[in-house]
Amino acid sequence: MSSLLVLVGWYTLPGYVTSFLQSVYYGITIRAGDPRPLPQTPRFERHRRRIYIFVIVSYLLYTLYETFHQVQVSGSFYTLLGVTPYDTDRTIQSQFRRMAARHHPDKAGDNQVAAAYFLVLRHAQETLLDPVKRFAYDRFGPSALNWGPLGSKQDILRVSLLRLVLPQYLLTLGVMVLMNWIWWGSWGRYWRFWYFAALLTLELVLITRPQASFMPSAYLPDAISAWLPFQSFHLLPFQLLTLARSVSLTLSIFITKVSPPDDPSVKSETSIPGPMMQRMVQLVHSARETDIEATRALQLAQAPFRGDRESIPVLRRGMQETLVLAGVRSGEEVQRAVAEVIQRRNASD
C-alpha cells in the first residue's frame, strides 16, 4: 500500500507543486503590472523545467528520509531488548532478565498490555538465542519466522531463493522490459538496469554473508566510537534491503521524470503537417530575398557618399532627422491633429 501511495505521489504531486511554485516565483520576481511569461514560450518553459527539477529532487530526498524513518520506527528485536547484532548470547540473556524483571505480568498486575509486551520480549529472546531463527530473522524480517520448521541455514537460503528472491526479481525484470518497450524512453535505460543488477547483487551478498548487519561504531576504534551520540545504531540486512529497494524504485522514477525534454524517443504532441512546412520554408526564403534586396537598395542609396568624408556627417544628420520625423508622424496625436486639419479644410471647401 505504501509503495502504491509513493507511485501515485510521484506521478501527481510534482506537476501541481511546480505550477504553484512557478506562480509564486513570478509573483515575487515580476513587478505588478509587468507581463508574465506566457505558457509554451522559451522563458516560461525554462523556468518551469528548473522548478520542476527542484521539486523532483526535494521529493526524492523526502521519500528516502520517510523510508528510513519508517525503518527506524518499526524497530527490531535487538532494539526491543536493547542489544546490538554484535552482542553475545550471554548479553542477550542478561538484558532479557533485566527487562523481564521490570515488565513481568506478576509485577504489573492484571494488565493485558504488560502481559502482551512480556510475551513479545520472550519471543524476541527466543528468536535471537536460536542461531537458525536469528539467521532467518536478520535477513528476511519477522515474516521469515512464519515459514514453518527451519532445519538449517542452508534450508533458509534455499527457501528464500525459491519463494522470494527469484520470483520477485524475475517479475521486476519482466515489468522493466515491458515498461522500457511501451512507455519509458531510451534516456536512462542503462542506469535503470544498473540499479536492478546492483540491488540483486546487494541482496545476494546480504543474505549469504555470516554477519551482514551495518553498525558504524563496530568499524571504528573504541576511542572514537565512545564519542558517537548513537553508539548502538545499527541496520539489519532486511532493513538495509528495504532501504535499497526504496532507493532503486525512487531513482528509477526520478530518471523517468527528469528525462530531457528533447528526448528523441518522446514523440511530440504537435507535429507540423508537410504542406504547412513547405509554406514555412518558402516564407523563410522570401524573407531572406527581401532582406537582400533591401540591403542592396540601401547600399545603392549610399553609393554617392561613399569615400566622401565631408558628406558623411550631412548624411548622418539627414538620416537622424528622417527617423525623428517618421517617429513624430507615426504618433497617434500627430495623426489625429492632421486628420482634424484635413476635415476642416474639406469642410471649408
The more confident residue out of 105 and 238 is 238
Domain annotation covers residue 163: yes
Cα separation of 192 and 259, whole Å?
13
**What mean pLDDT, rounded, does the chain reach?**
80
Q: How many CB atoms lie within 10 A of CB 248?
A: 19
The dihedral formed by the CA atoms of 23, 25, 30 and 32, expressed in degrees to the nearest 10? 50
Domain annotation covers residue 32: yes
- Confidence tier at 267 by pLDDT (50, 70, 90): very low
- Name the least confident of 134-143, 207-216, 260-269: 260-269
How large is the average pLDDT for residues 147-152? 77
- Name the least confident of 78-87, 149-158, 228-237, 239-248: 228-237
- Confidence tier at 201 by pLDDT (50, 70, 90): very high
The dihedral formed by the CA atoms of 43, 46, 49 and 52, expressed in degrees to the nearest 10? -50
How large is the average pLDDT for residues 100-105? 76
Cα separation of 185 and 259, whole Å?
8
Domain annotation covers residue 67: yes
The more confident residue out of 162 and 151 is 162
- Same domain for 57 and 155, yes or no, is no
Residue 262 pLDDT greater than 60, yes or no? no
Range of the domain at 204: 150-218+233-257
Domain annotation covers residue 289: no
- Same domain for 69 and 161, yes or no, is no
- Same domain for 62 and 155, yes or no, is no
For residue 288, the one-letter residue type is: R
What is the pLDDT, as a whole number, of residue 268? 45
Please say which residue of 56, 73, 90 terminates a domain: 73
- Confidence tier at 316 by pLDDT (50, 70, 90): confident
- Confidence tier at 263 by pLDDT (50, 70, 90): very low
Reduced 3-state DSSP string for the chain: CHHHHHHHHHHHHHHHHHHHHHHHHHHHHCCCCCCCCCCCCHHHHHHHHHHHHHHHHHHHHHHHHHHHHHHHHHCCHHHHHCCCCCCCHHHHHHHHHHHHHHHCHHHHCCCHHHHHHHHHHHHHHHHHHCHHHHHHHHHHCHHHHHCCCCCCHHHHHHHHHHHHHHHHHHHHHHHHHHHHHHCCCCCCHHHHHHHHHHHHHHHHHHHHCCCCCECHHHHCCHHHHCCCCCCCCCECHHHHHHHHHHHHHHHHHHHHHCCCCCCCCCCCCCCCCHHHHHHHHHHHHHHHHHHHHHHHHHHHHCHHHCCCCCHHHHHHHHHHHHHHHHHHHCCHHHHHHHHHHHHHHHHHC
By percentage, how much of the chain surpasses pLDDT 70? 84
Nearest to 234 by CA among 130, 78, 343: 78
How large is the average pLDDT for residues 186-209? 85
What is the pLDDT, as a whole number, of residue 42? 85
> Mutual orientation of helices 189-208 and 166-182 as an angle, nearest 10°?
180
The more confident residue out of 313 and 138 is 138
Whole-model pTM? Answer: 0.64
Query: Number of structural domains, the chain?
Result: 2
- Name the least confident of 187-191, 259-263, 330-334: 259-263
91 by Cβ neighbours in 10 Å (0-12 / 13-18 / 19+) ranks as middle
What is the pLDDT, as a whole number, of residue 110? 60
What is the pLDDT, as a whole number, of residue 229? 58
Cα separation of 201 and 217, whole Å?
25
- Confidence tier at 321 by pLDDT (50, 70, 90): confident
Nearest to 172 by CA among 98, 245, 247: 245
Question: At 48, phi and psi to the nearest 5?
Answer: -65, -40
Residue 1 pLDDT greater than 60, yes or no? no
Domain annotation covers residue 61: yes
Please say which residue of 46, 73, 100 terminates a domain: 73
Domain annotation covers residue 191: yes
Residue 47 pLDDT greater than 50, yes or no? yes
Please say which residue of 37, 54, 73 terminates a domain: 73
How large is the average pLDDT for residues 76-80? 88
Domain annotation covers residue 109: no
